[in-house]
Structure 1
Amino acid sequence: MTFTVAIVGRPNVGKSTLFNRLVGKKLALVDDLPGVTRDRRPGEAKLIDLRFRIIDTAGLEEAGEETLQGRMRAQTEAAIDEADLTLFVVDAKLGLTPLDNTLAEMLRRRGKPVVLVANKSEARGSDAGFYDAYTLGLGEPCPISAEHGQGMIDLRDAIVAAIGEERAFEDDDDVAETDVDLPIDQDLVEGEEDEVEPLYDETKPLRIAVIGRPNAGKSTMINRFLGEDRLLTGPEAGITRDSISVEWEWRGRTIKMFDTAGMRRKARVTEKLEKLSVADALRAVRFAEIVIVVFDATIPFEKQDLHIVDFAVREGRAVVLAFNKWDLIEDRQAVLADLREKTERLLPQIRGVRAVTVAGQTGEGLDRLMQSVIETDKIWNKRVSTAKLNRWLEFQTQGHPPPAVSGRRIKLKYMTQIKARPPGFIINCSRPEALPESYTRYLINGLRQDFGLLGVPIRISYRSNVNPYDDKRKKR
C-alpha cells in the first residue's frame, strides 16, 4: 500500500462502520454500545481509485494510564504515530463535545495531515453539528454517511488533497491480501499408483488462531511473540472483542496469528456484543490452519476448555495446547504429570496432541510452542501413498477383521487418501452402512500409530462397491 490512514474519534461516532465500508467487508464489530472497539485493527482499504492501508482504533477518552480506557488510548495514539494521515471522525448528528476539542488539539500537536470527517450527516438536524465542526480549526469538514455510503467521493478528494497526489497514487505492484483468506485443501486424485509423497513446504506462510477461555493470557502471549504491546492486555477478563490479526516472522517464516475473544459457556453468553465477539472468534478458527488452545495452568481442563478443543477438532483444524501462566506454578513436576494424564484421558479424539507449558509474561516456552506448531502443521499436511495404505489395510483386517453383521462378513477392499488438511481417507467397503463406529475408531487409532498422524483430526468415509445399475439389469 502507498500510505497508511488511521481512523480516530471519540466513542460511538461510527469509526468501525467507516472502516468496514472502506475495506468492503464487515471485519470490525459494530454495535450501538459505545466503546466496542478496543484493539487497533488493520485492513486494506479501497476508495474509488485509491488503495491504502487503514487502521481502526478505539474511541479516545480522557482517563488514567493504568485504567482500561487509558490503555485503549495508548493503543490509539500508537496508531496515529504509525499512520501517514488521520481521519478524525465527529458525529454531525449529536454535534461536538469538549472531548472532540481535546482530540483536535492533540492531532494538531502531532503535525500530521488530518481529514475532518463529519459522519451521520444524512440524519435530520445534522447541519448544526456539521457547521460546528469548523470551530475545531482542522479545515473544512467532509460530510459522509458511513452507514449508507454517502459522501465517499468527497472523502476520496479530501484524502488526496491532504496526502498529495504524488503520494496517493504512488505505484505499488504488491498484491493486496484480504484480512482473512480461506485455507485451500489440496485434494489428492485417487489412483492405484504408488505416488510420491510430497515434501512439506517450510517457507509457506502459516495461519494460527489463538483461542481459549477469558483471561487465559492469549493477548499477553501474542505480545511476547511480537516483542511489543501490540494487543490490549490487563487483569480484566474479556478485554479482547474483535479477532485481531498480527503478522510477524519466526525463523524466517511468515506467521499470521489471530488473537480472539475469550469463549465462555454458551449459557452465560447473553449480551449481543459478546455473541458477536464469540462468532468472530469461531470465524477465525475456520480460516486458520493451526489452532493454539490456551489453558490457564492454574485451573486447567475446565469443561469449557474441552468444548473449545472439541470445536477446533470438529472444524478439522490441527490443535496445539498451550498451558499458560506456568510461571505461577510451584510444584511443576507434579502438575506436569497431572496435565499429561488428563490430556490423554480427556482428549481421546486427538490422541498424541502436542502440549507445551508456557509463560506469556516472561516468554518461557514460546519457542518450544512454535516448534510444536510447525511439527503439527507437517502432520496436518501429510499424505500417505495409496500402496502403503492398502498394505496397511490388509494387515489391519487380518489382525482384527470387521465384525460379521447378520451372519455376513464385511469386506474392506481398497483404501486411498483423498485429501490433507486434515488427512481424509476413503475405503471401498461391501456394506458401509453396517460397519460399527467402533471399527472406524480402531482404524483411526491404527493410522495415528503407524503413520505418525498424532494430534490431528482424521476423517474416514466409506464407499459401497455395489453397481448402481444392477437393479435395471435384473429387470431386463
Structure 2
Amino acid sequence: MPAEATVAIIGRPNVGKSTLFNRLVGKKLALVDDTPGVTRDRRMGDAKLGDLRFRVIDTAGLEEADPASLEGRMRQQTENAIREADAIMFVIDARSGLTPLDKHFAEVVRRMERPVILVANKAEGRAAEPGLYEAFELGFGDPIPLSAEHGEGMSNLYDALREAIEDKAGFAAPAEADEAVTGVAVDEEGNVVGDDPVRPLRIAVVGRPNAGKSTLINRLIGEDRLLTGPEAGITRDSIAVDWSWREREVKLFDTAGLRRKARVQEKLEKLSVADALRAIKFAEVVVVLLDATIPFEKQDLQIVDLIVREGRALVIGLNKWDLVEDRAAKFKELREEADRLLPQVRGVQLVTLSGLAGQGLDKLMDACVRAYDLWNTRVSTGRLNRWLTGLLEHHPPPAVAGRRLKIRYMTQAKTRPPYFVLFGSRPEAMPESYMRYLVNGLRETFEMPGVPIRIQMRAGGDNPFDKKD
C-alpha cells in the first residue's frame, strides 16, 4: 500500500532534525553538520519505520526573525510544511533542556491543530534526564527519548507514529518490512540501468551562486516550494521536487551554487558542493543555468566540462534574458561563443528564459526532452560501418612510425551517453586528434548535437559483419 500520510519534523536549529530524517528514510539525503541552521529548504523523503510507510519532511530550524529576512523566509517554509502534514514531530535537544524558543514555538504548533509527537533527541546517557523531565511542560504528552544518530528509541517512536497516522499510513507486506528502500538502478559508473518510461525524468539544475536556479524551479512547478532571495548561496542541500509536465513525470533537483574550488573553504560549503555533484551524477539531463548578462565565466565552462565527463545530457539555460536589450545580436554572439568555448558538446542547445518573469519555460522543457532522447540515441552497426567506410576513403588514419593505422569496423556498445567501439590495429598509437575527428563526424552525421560521445579503440581482426562468401 503506498504511503499517504505526511509527517513534518520541526524544532529549533541544531536539535538533530536532519539526522532523524536521514534515519527514517534510510539514506544520508540531508546535509548534517554541527553548525546551526544547515537546513534551509523543505526536503521530502519516503520514510519507513518497521512496517510503517509515510512521507517525511525535513524543515529549517524555527527562529524568531523579520518575515522579510532569510531566517523569516525559512520559517515561512517550515510553516508551509506544517500545513501540509498530517502529524508533526516536534524535536527538542534533551541535553540542552527546554529553551524559551522551544516554548514559544510549541505554542505556534499547538495552534496548527495537528497531532504532535514530542521527540527528545540526543537522549543517550544520564545527561539527558533533566531535559526529559522538563519536556513535560510543553503539554504534548510523554516525550519520546531517542538518539537519531545511534538509532536508539525508534521502537517507541514507531508506537507513537502508528497511533498518530495509522488511518493514512501505508504498511509494507511482511516479506517487505525489512527490505531497504532503493532508488533508481545504476551501474558502477553511475549510469541509470534501463529506460523505464514510467520512471520520472531526472533533471538537475546547476550553476554558479545566484544564477536563479531555485527561482526557476519555483516558476516551473507553480509554487514557492524552494527558498529564494537576493542573497547568494541560499540553497545548501540538493532538493528533489516531483512534478508533472505535459503528463510526463519529472523529478527536478535544485542544487547549491558551484563556486571555484579555491574559494570553497568552509566545511559546510564543501558538503553542499559534494551534494550538488552527486545530483549531477544521478541526473539524466543537467540544465546549466547561466546569467545571460555575464555568461560563460570560467566557472561555467568548468561546470559544463564536469557534466560532459559524467556523460549526462546537457542543456544550457540563459537566464535573466528579460534584462538583455539587443536579443537577436546577443543570442548570435552567445551561440558562436558556446561553439568556440565548448567544442566537446558542439551544437549544445541554448535556451533563453527568465525564471523570475516565467518566460521560455516550455522551451526549456522541450529542450530537456530532446536532449534526453539524443542521449538515448542508438545507431545500427550497418549504418555506422557504411558511414565509416566513406569517411576512411575520404580521410584515412595517419601513418605512425612509417606504418599506416587500420580501422576495420565499428559498433555501438551502449547509450546514455552514446558509446562507440572501433576495432583495428595498434589502438595505442591512434592520435587523439583523429579520435576527435571521428567524434565530430558521428555528431554531425547522426544528428547528436550537444551530446557527450564516448569512443574507444580496441585491437581487433576482420569485420564480423561483412558478408562472407
TM-score by length of 1: 0.92
Q: How much does 1:407 deviate? A: 1.4
Q: Could you tell me whether the CA contact under 8 Å between 1:183 and 1:288 is conserved in 2?
A: no
CA displacement 1:340-385 (0-9 Å, x = unmatched): 1211110100001000111000110111011111111111001000
Q: Relative to structure 1, is the Cα distance of residues 359 and 166 closer, same or farther in structure 2, using a 3 angstrom cutoff?
A: closer
Mean CA deviation greater in 260-269 or 404-413: 404-413
Query: Is the CA contact (8 Å cut-off) linking 1:381 and 1:420 kept in structure 2?
Result: yes
- Report Cα offsets for 1:312-355 as digits up to 9, x if no partner: 00000011000101111122223222211211110100001000
Following superposition, the deviation at residue 178 of structure 1 comes to 5.6
Match of 2:66 in 1: 64
Task: Give the aligned partner of residue 390 of structure 1.
Answer: 385
RMSD between superposed Cα atoms in Å: 2.2
The alignment covers a number of residue pairs equal to 455
Residue equivalent to 1:305? 300
Q: Confirm whether residue 181 of structure 1 aligns to residue 184 of structure 2.
A: yes
Q: Which amino acid aligns with 2:381?
A: T
1:119-130 to 2 correspondence within 5 Å?
119-130=121-132
Aligned pair partner of 1:108 in 102, 107, 110: 110
Query: Could you say if the C-alpha distance between residues 275 and 186 of structure 1 is closer, same or farther in structure 2, counting changes exceeding 3 Å?
Result: closer
**Map of 1:280 onto structure 2:** 275
Which is worse superposed, 381-390 or 176-185? 176-185
Tell me, in whole angstroms, the C-alpha distance in 2 between the residues paired with 1:128 and 1:385: 71
CA distance in 1, matches of 2:253, 2:340: 29
Report the equivalent of 2:209. Answer: 214
Q: Could you say which residue in structure 2 is the equivalent of 1:148?
A: 150
Aligned mates of 1:432, 1:125 — CA distance in 2: 67
C-alpha separation between the residues in 2 aligned to 1:114 and 1:234?
Answer: 31
Q: What are the Cα deviations for residues 50-90 of structure 1, in whole angstroms up to 9, with x where unaligned? A: 11110100001111111000100011011111010100000
**Deviations 1:105-145 (CA, angstroms, capped at 9, x unpaired):** 11111111000000011144211111101001111100000
Query: What is aligned with 2:237?
Result: 242
Q: Indicate the residue corresponding to 2:465 in structure 1.
A: none
d(CA) in 1 for partners of 2:288, 2:72: 29
Where 1:147 maps in the other structure, the secondary structure is coil
Identify which of 126, 132, 135 aligns with 2:134.
132
Q: 1:19 aligns with which of 15, 18, 21?
A: 21
Output aligned runs, 1:26-425, within 5 Å: 26-163=28-165, 165-168=166-169, 180-183=183-186, 205-425=200-420
1:196 equivalent in structure 2: none
Q: Is the 8 A contact 2:405 2:430 kept in 1?
A: yes
CA contact (8 A) 1:2 1:172 kept: no
2:467 aligned residue: none
Contact 1:4/1:53 (8 A) holds in 2: yes
Decide whether aligned partners of structure 1 residues 178 and 234 sit closer, same or farther in structure 2, where only a CA change above 3 A counts.
farther
Write the deviation string for residues 420-445 of structure 1: whole angstroms up to 9, x where unpaired.
Answer: 00000001111111110000011001
**What is the CA–CA distance in structure 2 between the aligned matches of 1:183 and 1:141, rounded to whole Å?**
41
Q: Which amino acid aligns with 2:293?
A: T
User: Which secondary structure state, in structure 2, belongs to the residue aligned with residue 413 of structure 1?
Assistant: strand
Q: Distance in 2 between matches of 1:389 and 1:143?
A: 65
| Percent of pairs with identical residues | 64
**Separation (CA, whole Å) in 2 of partners of 1:369 and 1:131:** 55
Return the offset for 1:181.
2.4
**1:2-53, CA deviations, whole angstroms, 9 ceiling, x for partnerless residues?**
3111000000000000001111111100000000000000011111221111
Q: What amino acid sits opposite 1:343 in the alignment? A: A
**2:451 alignment partner, SS class:** coil
Give the partner amino acid of 2:376. N
How far apart, in 2, do the equivalents of 1:8 and 1:204 lie? 31
Q: Structure 1 residues 166, 186: closer, same or farther in 2, change over 3 A?
A: closer
Residues 437-452 of structure 1 aligned to structure 2 (within 5 Å)? 437-452=432-447
Distance 1:201 1:339 in 2: 35
Instruction: After superposition, give the CA deviation of every residue in 1:424-473 in whole Å (9 maximum; x if it has no partner).
Output: 00011111111100000110010011000110100111110279xxxxxx
Name which of structure 1's ranges 327-336 and 441-450 shifts more when overlaid on structure 2. 327-336
Task: Give the match for residue 466 of structure 2.
Answer: none
Relative to structure 1, the CA distance from residue 183 to residue 357 in structure 2 (aligned partners, 3 Å threshold; closer, same or farther) is farther
Aligned partners of 1:435, 1:349: CA distance in 2, in Å?
19
Matched AA of 2:428: E
Match of 1:277, as an amino acid? Answer: S
Give the secondary structure class of the aligned counterpart of 1:150: coil
Runs of 5+ consecutive residues of structure 2 not aligned to the other structure:
463-469
User: So what's the TM-score if we normalise by structure 2?
Assistant: 0.93
Checking the alignment, whether the CA contact within 8 Å between 2:291 and 2:318 is kept in structure 1 is yes
**Deviates most, 229-238 or 325-334:** 325-334
Distance, in Å, in 2 between the alignment partners of 1:179 and 1:284 is: 16
